[in-house]
A = this chain, B = another copy of it.
Amino acid sequence: MAVRAAVAGASGYAGGELLRLLLAHPETEIGTLTGHTNAGQRLGAIQPHLLPLADRVLAETTPEALAGHDVVFLALPHGQSAAVAERLGPDVLVIDMGADFRLKDPADWETFYGSPHAGTWPYGLPELPGARAALEGAKRIAVPGCYPTAVSLALYPAYAAGLAAPEAVIVAASGTSGAGKAPKPHLLGSEVMGSMSPYGVGGGHRHTPEMIQNLSAAAGERVAVSFTPTLAPMPRGILATCSAAAADGVTADSVRAAYEKAYADEPFVHLLPEGRWPATASVHGSNAVQLQVAYDAAVGRIIAISAIDNLTKGTAGGAVQSMNIALGLPETTGLSTIGVAP
């Protein structure tokens, strides 16, 4: 019997990607789709790439519209998920693709979002130690942010193995879909094509505390994170360049061994052969993480670089992967490690 799934916020990029994946998922059936300003419109006018759903009409995002599903995915502006989730009942699997339930420390939430903390749900990054177990049978899941997904998977093995000092420096480039579909002048094609630019520099990006949370858990001590996101002239993809000073005695071999061990059995994380480096094009539309790690002996730093698709593994693919675990389906159901390249 098919899992019946609703999507609240089906007109944005995260919602659209989720629908793309659910259409290919053999165990789900797509139920209600909701929107806000686009309620009442055909999906074909908003997500013209989703041909099989072209004639679906978006409902308003209300608890009534979302009732009667096994799974409800929330792709809403932050701060709105709690109210919706409360009304859905404890037996419905609610998967929040927004930020509301990711952070454990209420103070972090309040500092970065300026509103009361809604709570903490099981964290949908199954590759982290202990995360998979917490997702099994869960009824509430917080999907990680796109940057924290790329960064945590790039660096956690080094921290878990005690190889890196607790000060990480991260510079990540993201495609523009990470900034959403709301039209803003600096996101116009005329502005972004041919241009690289940073934003949220100096610790201000809201994904920073989430990275600290993940890396600190792996390290067993607080990891300071210097995070600089940049906007790249491409629609999708994150390339996260992460480094940290190596602990005493670290060698290139010990670093590689730690990563090989961490990802030996992970279906979506691919440690590249030595000497090869990831490119975001290779994971375009895929749930794979391609990564590589090196030890730069001249400066004593470990450098780990990961490539993900911000909309797939970074958002909607991570959500589906977590749903699979929560529902007891094979984790890879409906998900692919094959990129659409070139």
Contact = CB atoms under 8 A, between A and B. Distances in A.
Contact of A237 (B16, B194, B284, B298): B194
Given A181-B190, A201-B305, A233 B234 contact: yes
Contact of A196 (B44, B197, B239): B239
Q: How many copies does the complex hold?
A: 4
A299 B224 contact: yes
A280 interface: yes
B225 A299 contact: yes
Interface string A209-240: 00000000000000011101010111111010
A167 interface: yes
A13 B190 contact: yes
A341 to B, nearest CB: 4
Interface in A116-175: 167, 169, 171, 173, 175
Contact of A201 (B189, B270, B277, B281): B277
Given A282-B48, A337-B52, A13 B187 contact: no
Interface size class of A (residues with CB under 8 A): 35 or more
Interface in A174-210: 175-177, 179, 181, 183-185, 187-199, 201-203
A69 interface: no
B337 A303 contact: no
Most buried by B among A232, A234, A241, A280: A241
A273 B337 CA distance: 34
Nearest to A223: B299
A241 B304 CA distance: 17
Contacts of A292: 201
A203 B243 CA distance: 13
Given A49-B339, A50-B339, A173-B232, 7 more contacts: A49-B283, A49-B338, A176-B188, A189-B233, A191-B342, A195-B341, A199-B277
